[in-house]
């Protein structure tokens, strides 16, 4: 433990992203990824660090996906690229309300 709480003095919280799911939530409701974090912690409890990394890899990947949404953004990017490709080929025409050509509302 350091003598000075440098993060606290500077107002920077570097490691909070790993702890924010376990922290008390504002209205007493569970955080979004709390279930995934709990599975990961329960899987690795009592195991050594090396063994937990090997045996709890799936739980950790699920937890990180819930936190960062990397697979979701990659899938969305692929869908949008395919849509743009189909528009260029003339196989797909987006609806008018997606193109901003609808009548203005009162």
Q: Answer whether 56's CB lies under 8 Å from 47's CB.
A: yes
How many CA atoms, within 13 angstroms, populate the side-chain half-sphere of residue 104?
1
Task: Give pLDDT, residue 14.
Answer: 63
Let me know if residue 84 belongs to a domain.
yes
In tens, the pLDDT along 49-92 reads 888 889 999 999 999 999 899 999 999 999 999 999 999 999 99
Let me know if residue 4 belongs to a domain.
no
Cα–Cα distances in Å, from 66 out to 22, 51, 60, 62, 80?
14, 23, 10, 6, 22
In tens, the pLDDT along 25-52 reads 666 677 788 889 889 889 988 888 888 8
Provide the domain count of the chain: 1
For residue 66 the two structure tokens come to 């819930």
Domain extent for 80: 11-95
């Amino acid at each position: 433990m350091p003598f000075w709480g440098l993060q606290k003095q500077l107002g920077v919280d570097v490691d909070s992203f790993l702890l924010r799911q376990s922290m008390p939530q504002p209205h007493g409701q569970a955080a979004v990824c709390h279930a995934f974090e709990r599975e990961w912690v329960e899987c690795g409890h009592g195991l050594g660090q090396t063994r937990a990394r090997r045996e709890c890899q799936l739980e950790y990947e699920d937890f990180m996906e819930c936190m960062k949404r990397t697979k979701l953004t990659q899938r969305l990017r692929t869908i949008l690229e395919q849509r743009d490709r189909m528009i260029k080929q003339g196989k797909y025409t987006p609806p008018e309300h997606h193109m901003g050509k609808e009548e203005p509302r009162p």
